[in-house]
Amino acid sequence: MNIEAIRSYLLELQGRIVGEMERLDGGTFRRDGWDRPEGGGGLSILIEDSKVLERGGVNFSHVRGANLPPSASASRPQLAGRGFEALGVSLVFHPRNPYVPTVHMNVRFFAATREGEAPIWWFGGGMDLTPYYGHADDARHFHQTCKDALVPFGDHHATFKKWCDEYFYLKHRQEPRGVGGIFFDDFSEGGFDPAFALWRSVGDHFLPAYAPIVERRRDTPYGERERDFQAYRRGRYVEFNLVFDRGTLFGLQSAGRTESILMSMPPIVKWRYDWKPEAGSPEAALYTDFLVERDWV
């Protein structure tokens, strides 16, 4: 277990992603370093009300604590009574143009420690795409790049894709959040070095997965109808993050920095009572053609 190597990689990845997104957007991200009284800190880098990104953030955190929060120890009794150390980079980009999908990516490392005992550790993460107006070539490209990230490390893609489909599912709506991607947790297969290599590959493939989609769609003309539907669908994003997302729950329960944790929320959101899209409309196509379980590659 090499915490310094993990930390160095995460900070480099954060800087690389921010640099490319500043190039695509043309704006400048704000940098906000912070300390956590209970132990550790982080660096939030965000942008709001810019040309391409209506809101976006790339968050690095490295936190420590003497006791695990309930959300972590309840499902893993072996962690009870241990201290913890958690590092990660988490990002969400909410583009202004409704034809550019929202995207989420997270890579994280977690270790539970007790004096005199070996640490219990694992890697986790993944990325997923949430379109408002779906394009099959975008979905295929995103999923193929996710698969490419995993191919050198064995037959993981089908498992991680299924895990993503199941994790990013709004049970109360009976619909997926988007078109998925890959997701994994509790990963330590092969020991530290092989697991670390797979995890880095996932992080390294984020920009190749997402940047070409932004470049392809950012200048697509749109109007108030498309913006209105985008705001309505963003409501699903908020519901998932506040009800189901493990990272949000862990962060809030472990006395994390609220501004950084809730940075993932979209800036403009709408809800309507029992709304349905008009049959045959582009909005209806999102539900019939994209918010369905599908093997994109």
CATH code (residue 251): 3.40.1500.10
Instruction: Specify whether the CB–CB gap between 77 and 50 falls below 8 A.
Output: no
Query: Is residue 219 exposed (0-12), middle (13-18) or buried (19+ Cβ within 10 Å)?
Result: exposed
Structural domain for 156, as ranges? 3-290
Residue whose token pair is 């008009």: 278
Q: pLDDT at position 212, please?
A: 98
pTM of the model: 0.92
In-domain check, residue 133: yes
In-domain check, residue 152: yes
In-domain check, residue 116: yes
Instruction: Specify whether the CB–CB gap between 91 and 59 falls below 8 A.
Output: yes
Q: pLDDT at position 80, please?
A: 67
Per-residue pLDDT of the chain (297 residues; tens, 9 = 90+): 798 999 999 999 999 999 999 999 999 999 999 888 888 899 999 999 999 999 999 999 998 877 776 666 556 667 666 788 899 999 999 999 999 999 999 999 998 877 777 778 999 999 999 999 999 999 999 999 999 999 999 999 999 999 999 999 999 999 999 999 999 998 998 999 999 999 999 999 999 999 999 999 999 999 999 999 999 999 999 999 888 877 777 777 766 677 877 888 899 999 999 999 999 999 999 999 999 988 999
Q: What are phi and psi of 147, to 5 degrees?
A: -65, -40
Which structure tokens are listed for 258? 């609220």
In-domain check, residue 235: yes
In-domain check, residue 297: no
Instruction: Specify whether the CB–CB gap between 131 and 272 falls below 8 A.
Output: no
In-domain check, residue 217: yes
* E strand or H helix at 112: strand 102-113
Q: pLDDT at position 248, please?
A: 79
User: Degrees (nearest 5) of the Cα angle 41, 83, 4?
Assistant: 50
In-domain check, residue 295: no
Spatial distance between the Cα atoms of 19 and 12, rounded to a whole number of angstroms: 11
Q: pLDDT at position 257, please?
A: 73
In-domain check, residue 137: yes
Would you please indicate which residues are annotated as catalytic (active-site) residues?
Answer: 104
Q: pLDDT at position 39, please?
A: 84
Task: Give how many domains the chain has, as a whole number.
Answer: 1
